Amino acid sequence: MINTIKMKKTIAIDMDGVLADIEAHTLQLYEQHSGISLTKADISGNQEWDLVPDGLFHEFVHKPGFFRNLPVMEGAVEAVEKLSQEFEVYIVSAATEFPLSLSEKQEWLTEYFPSISWRNIVFCGSKSIIGTDYMIDDHRKNLDPFKGKTLLFSAFHNQGQNHHQRFDDWKSIVAFLESELAL
């Protein structure tokens, strides 16, 4: 008898800037703080820590509640739901740099992605030991050492980088990964 059981391919999906819209939230906090309304176009090309002026991003990130209150990225919920049917999806977030964020991030995932089991959540520092088939991330430092296929999620801080295949939204990522299934 031929064994027809096929292991699902695995995907590591980043949180900040990929599942969670850290840009939108930071711009909103900056407006509350300074009264100045910046758009995503205004900050395009900035380094991550200069997302908003005066080092305020650093200050915002370290306040309790920052990671718990991030809005979900457009299209992310539907995309993860769709991908979970054909792939084994892991959420892999570089969270140990901010120990306070750990429980906030898990609560956030429980709210927006309740179908993701705790078994499929990874909070780490370096992602260099993650051994999935695909990795979706907005940071080159995470994608560069990865041995599988890499997908760069567009963000203000990675404009102009062309070391990994770039995707501007979740719709194009789902289309790409579905085309991979046919290979």
Cβ proximity to a second copy, 27 vs 61, nearer residue: 61
How far CA 183 is from CA of 59, 165, 177, 178, in Å, comes to 46, 18, 10, 10
> What is the chain's alpha carbon radius of gyration, rounded to the nearest angstrom?
17
Instruction: Examine residue 150 and tell whether it contacts a second copy (CB under 8 A).
Output: no
Residue 161 sits in the site that holds a second copy (CB under 8 A): no
Residues composing the chain: 183
Any contact of residue 10 with a second copy (CB under 8 A)? Answer: yes
Burial, 138: exposed, middle or buried (Cβ in 10 Å; 0-12, 13-18, 19+)?
A: buried
Chosen residue from 35, 99, 114, 160 binding a second copy by CB under 8 A: 99
Task: Compare residues 31 and 144 and give the one whose CB is closer to a second copy.
Answer: 144
Is 96 or 159 the residue whose CB approaches a second copy more closely?
A: 96
Q: Which is nearer to a second copy, 71 or 131 (CB)?
A: 131
Smallest distance from a second copy to CB 97, Å: 5
26 binds a second copy (CB under 8 A): no
Helix axes 170-181, 76-86, angle to 10 degrees: 10
Inter-CA distances, 49 with 32, 38, 55, 110, 129, Å: 19, 16, 7, 28, 25
CB of 27 to a second copy, least distance (A): 27
* By the rule CB under 8 A, 97 interacts with a second copy: yes
Q: Which residues from 114-143 bind a second copy, rule CB under 8 A?
A: 117-126, 129-132
Q: Compute the distance between CA of residue 124 and CA of residue 130 in angstroms, rounded to an integer.
A: 10
Distance of CA 89 to CAs 68, 140, 145, 153, Å?
A: 21, 20, 20, 16
Active site residue 16: yes
Active site (catalytic) residues: 14, 16
Q: Give the residues lining the site for a second copy (CB under 8 A).
A: 10, 12, 90, 95-97, 99-100, 102-103, 106-107, 117-126, 129-132, 147
